[in-house]
Each structure stands twice: as structure tokens, then as C-alpha cells.
Amino acid sequence: MFSVRIHGRGGQGAVTAAEMLSVAAFDEGRHAQAFPTFGSERTGAPVVSFCRIDDRPIRLREPITQPDALIVQDPTLLHQVNLFAGLRPDGYLLVNTSRTLDELGLAELVSRLTPSHAVAVPATELAREHLGRPLPNAALLGGFAALTGQVSLESVADAIRARFAGAVGEGNVRAAEAAYAHVHEVRRTVDA
């Protein structure tokens, strides 16, 4: 089973991201589940969302404490909450930022991970460019597909289009494609 934990803020689409990721996996013939954890917080409050992907039926229902992948939609959460609790040494880290992970003070954490498993992607900027709004969730799913290989970019694009019709869907798909290309380029550089 592959487990993903998504940290964001209310209004950034963390819940929707987990749902679209589960749909992408399901469309590839896999079993998937997505669920959030949050209270009655306002927009901007921290939100955690979860997604599990497996080739067999998933019976677990509890929150993910040891994720295989961690997606951070808002870098302001990095030093406010213990986001990295349970992240495995061979796990994946995807952070929405235009800064480097070293600039964010994550050098020690990144040094404990496989070098090509930790990537920063400017998902908010890509969403603004392709969608016209600063909603990073779809772009981050494109980055996730490139980083982990757990789902294809095509399945992510189909899940986005199923959730968002017309220009909004296409803008989100373009942002996901740009993030996918960005992560591939970063990983190619790290692996070289």
C-alpha cells in the first residue's frame, strides 16, 4: 500500500487533491481511498488530507501516521506543525514553493531522504500562470505523478477534468503538466 498525507490550509484544495489522486489511481484499476481530517475551522486554517493506493482492497480507515509521500501545499506550515512525523527515509517529499528546500531550512530532513525523493515545485505560481488563480492542488498532483510514479500524468489529467469542467479543468491540467515537467527536470538534475 502507498500512503500519502497532504498538508495545506483551508481553501487550497487539500481535500480535493486527495480525492482527485484517489480517482486517478482508481481509473488505473487500483484501489484507493481519500479522506480529510479537520474541524470547523475557517479558510486558512491547517487541513490534513489522506490518500491510500493499493492493488488490493483497503480495509484501513485511520489517519496516516507513516506516509510514503508527503505533499505540503503551504510552506508556512513547515515550522508550525510537525509535518514530517513518520515520513520514511525512502519516502517522498513534495513542497509547494519557489524557494529551495535548503532555503526553507529543510537541509537536515532532505539529507535523510533519498536525494531525488525531495523536490520543491512552484505550484502556486504555476496555477496562477495556467489557471489565473493561486490554487496549487492540481499542479501538485502533476508533480506527485512525476516524483513517485504511483499514478500517470494522464490519469491525473482525467481526474482533474472529471472534477472541473471547461476552462477551469484545462487550466488545472496545464498547471499539472507544467509541475510534472518541472519535477522531472529537477530529478534529472539531482540524478546526474
pLDDT tens for each residue of 83-110: 898 998 999 999 999 999 999 999 998 9
Would residue 102 count as lying in a domain? no
Residue 8 domain flag: yes
Is residue 132 included in any domain, yes or no? Answer: yes
**Residues linked to residue 47 through DSSP beta bridges, in sequence order:** 8
Q: Provide the residue range defining the domain that includes 35.
A: 2-96+114-191
Confidence at 28, pLDDT banded by 50, 70, 90? very high
**Distance (Å, rounded) from C-alpha 124 to C-alpha 112?**
27
Count: domains in the chain: 1
Can you give the pLDDT at residue 140? 98
Question: What is the β-pairing status of strands 31-37 and 46-54?
Answer: antiparallel
Residues in the chain: 192
8-25 pLDDT, tens digit per residue, is 988 889 999 999 999 999
Q: Report yes or no on 17 lying in a domain.
A: yes
pTM: 0.94
The CATH number given to whatever domain includes residue 34 is 3.40.920.10
